[in-house]
Amino acid sequence: MSLITNDSDRIQRGDPETAALAVQDLELVYMVRGTPRVVLRGVTFQVRPGEAFGLVGESGCGKSTTAYAAMRYLPGNGRITGGKVLANGFDVTAMSQKELREFRSTQASMVYQDPVQAMNPTLKIGKQVAECYRILGADKGEADDKALEALKRVKIAAPGSVMDRYPHQLSGGMLQRVVIAMGLAGDPQLLVLDEPTTGLDATVEAEVLDLVRDLREETNAAVLLIAHNLGVIRTMCDRVGVMYAGRMVEEASSDELFEEPRHPYTIGLMNAIPRLGLRKTDRALSTIPGNMPAIGTPLPTCVYVDRCPLATDICKTDLPPIVELGDGRWTRCHHSDQLSDIEELISEVPEHEIGDEHVVQLNQVSKTFRQRGNDVPALVSVDLGFAEGETLGLVGESGSGKSTLAKTMLGVHGPDVGGEITLDGKPMKGKATDRRNEAIRAIQMVFQNPDSALNRAWTVRRILTRTVTSLTDIQGEAADRRVEEIAEAMRLSTHHLDMRPRQLSGGLKQRVAIARAFAGDPRVVVCDEPTSALDVSVQAAILNLLATLQRDEKTSYLFITHDIGVVRYLADRIAVMYVGRIMEKGYTDDIFAGPVHPYTEALLSAVPSVDGEATDRIPLTGDIPSPANPPPGCVFHTRCRYAIPGTCDVIEPPDIEIGPKHTIVCHLPVEELPTPVTVSIKTG
């Protein structure tokens, strides 16, 4: 025996031979142009049979690599340089190709992020699912029967007809169900899910997660889940491992980890999330300063030393020990007894002021598209006003018309005749190309994905300069100065100005995008999920920046998001959209306190929350109706659990005011309106 004890000798939650998955001291490098770059630095954890284990950590921490390594799906330049992976006692790292195929078909399966790419577009669903059973030795008829059975098992609507359809004819949520059905074909003891719901709408995500949970209970399969959405991890996983720079720094049960994190990094992450009803008026979000070390950096020390508020000299020289905290819980920190010294970066938040007059106002704005000769009303009689310095959160499922509303405001396409958009009370032209320069300047946008929103051939300086010179009268040297001022306000340094977008991190890119939106002194900025592609620590910085800019510039925001925590943090008012209509609008506090529209109730409870599972969730099943063919009466009656037959499916509901500036579109008497379910907060 060597004197050096491996992590796997210390952290054992049972015999690794009996674990569904036991990753032990796994070290992995990617060969990049002949040089090995270390990605995993000794990762150890176990997934016990029937358990759901989550891996969290920011981009590039190696969590996906760990998941792929568990199945030994590695890119050509990936090399396992140490440790091993045991699945049910079999050493995955030592298997021959034949054994590996056998292992992947009968013992473990993987579900990827994008179900569209996981399916063959030219083959019918039934054939592809049956194929899984053919490989396991079933004859054709038997395989078809089993395929149908499998589709029923994943609770797909009309499984018989789905068998006969092609992948492009199914929605993303349905396709992901099919992929899960295929993954379960061999009755695996281990299911590895890599961002299984990232591309899906929040409500569909909740349904797929419910399915995975039910299937887990049914099959007792162990699950390894990778998700960047911490709400998903919280609601799905029994245990969670936190990874940072290729090392696991803390492992705990899900509840313990989210309620009482015991590693400085985990604490930083938890403080960065807007949760537990936090509002922007309470405090700014905590951020984790600095960046994760680049992949391949040699790190013989504590991996988190550069960003840790507790770091001392020993952290810079010695690998921290594993500190066991009982029940298989552990953290890897030199100073695990001083964690209470970490102060939340609470900064004073001055009250921000909201004006009375509406800067931009939408009056009866509708937008009808022509699709194959049919009228598709994507936006129906929307009334909305934006006061100075106000944030209006816009929520709703995909396809509810949120983006159409934003684009109509921005003038990407003009509204239907009859509606108007006013700026300071004066009507604006519908299309941006017809608007006066002043009106163009007034409404600008921050896009969801900065990679797409910034021209990769341009430098940051050119992007900003062009925006300043084309939107304002500032030209020449004055424009250069203005660009540097804006950059400074966004906390971009001058050397960032001469970079091109791909040289910047995701957070910096989004700062550039925000800088561009603010370059022409806009009155209203449309933010379309500006943080959904970012890590939580970066998200916190961006949300803080948006809040600060709003206070300083008195800008109004239309903030589109699926993240209930974010909207609650940032929005002053919330509008809820469904099939092109605003179903409810009111002050954020009123919405969360209730009573609310039945759709709002369902929407708020469907989204997985970092604060844990709501005690009684309201399922929002089925698909959102097509705007081309909206249901008669109230558009929500087909999915509403309070629907009154004979009324809701016939008569369009009226606008009713149930509080100060709080209106809903519903037939229910006010006293019967639901209150949003609250998350049970466990403590200790």
Q: Where in 95-114 is the site for other proteins (CB under 8 A)?
A: 113
| Cα(192)–Cα(181) distance, integer angstroms | 13
Run of H or E residues at 553: helix 536-553
Nearest distance in Å: CB 490, other proteins: 16
| Cα(388)–Cα(554) distance, integer angstroms | 6
> Which residues ranging from 46 to 85 are in contact with other proteins (CB under 8 A)?
59-60, 62-65, 75, 77-78
454 touching other proteins, by CB under 8 A:
yes
Nearer to other proteins, 564 or 668 (CB): 564
| Cα(15)–Cα(18) distance, integer angstroms | 6
| Cα(388)–Cα(353) distance, integer angstroms | 8
What are the C-alpha distances in Å from 452 to residues 302, 447, 593?
36, 8, 38
Considering only 12, 105, 107, 198, the residue that binds other proteins (CB under 8 A) is 198
Phi, psi of 395 (to 5 degrees): -125, 160
Nearer to other proteins, 354 or 412 (CB): 412
User: Which span sits near other proteins by CB under 8 A: 158-166, 293-301, 353-361, 593-601?
Assistant: 293-301
363 touching other proteins, by CB under 8 A:
no
Considering only 1, 4, 417, 457, the residue that binds other proteins (CB under 8 A) is 457
Give CA angle at 59 (54, 60), nearest 5°: 100
Nearest distance in Å: CB 560, other proteins: 8
Q: Name the 3-class secondary structure at 451.
A: helix
Nearer to other proteins, 90 or 369 (CB): 369
Longest alpha-carbon distance in the chain: 83
Run of H or E residues at 29: strand 21-32
Considering only 495, 671, 683, 684, the residue that binds other proteins (CB under 8 A) is 495
Nearer to other proteins, 226 or 591 (CB): 226
Which amino acid is located at 324 in the chain? E
Q: DSSP state, 87?
A: E
Q: Name the 3-class secondary structure at 447.
A: coil
Considering only 101, 456, 491, 641, the residue that binds other proteins (CB under 8 A) is 456
286 touching other proteins, by CB under 8 A:
no
Nearest distance in Å: CB 45, other proteins: 18
Nearest CA to 363 out of 348, 385, 345 is that of 385
- Could you please report the per-residue DSSP string of 45-59? EEE-TT-EEEEE-ST
461 touching other proteins, by CB under 8 A:
no
360 forms bridges with which residues in the sheet? 386, 423
Considering only 88, 109, 366, 448, the residue that binds other proteins (CB under 8 A) is 448
Say how many residues make up the chain: 684
| Cα(67)–Cα(20) distance, integer angstroms | 13
> Which residues ranging from 573 to 632 are in contact with other proteins (CB under 8 A)?
none
User: Which span sits near other proteins by CB under 8 A: 358-366, 526-534, 570-578, 581-589?
Assistant: 526-534
32 touching other proteins, by CB under 8 A:
yes
User: Which span sits near other proteins by CB under 8 A: 148-156, 353-361, 445-453, 541-549?
Assistant: 445-453
Considering only 111, 421, 440, 664, the residue that binds other proteins (CB under 8 A) is 440
> Which residues ranging from 367 to 396 are in contact with other proteins (CB under 8 A)?
369-372, 376, 378
Nearer to other proteins, 142 or 498 (CB): 498
Rg (CA), the chain: 26
228 touching other proteins, by CB under 8 A:
yes
505 touching other proteins, by CB under 8 A:
yes
Phi, psi of 679 (to 5 degrees): -80, 135
449 touching other proteins, by CB under 8 A:
yes
CB 184 within 8 A of CB 219: yes
Considering only 238, 383, 416, 451, the residue that binds other proteins (CB under 8 A) is 451
Nearer to other proteins, 422 or 449 (CB): 449
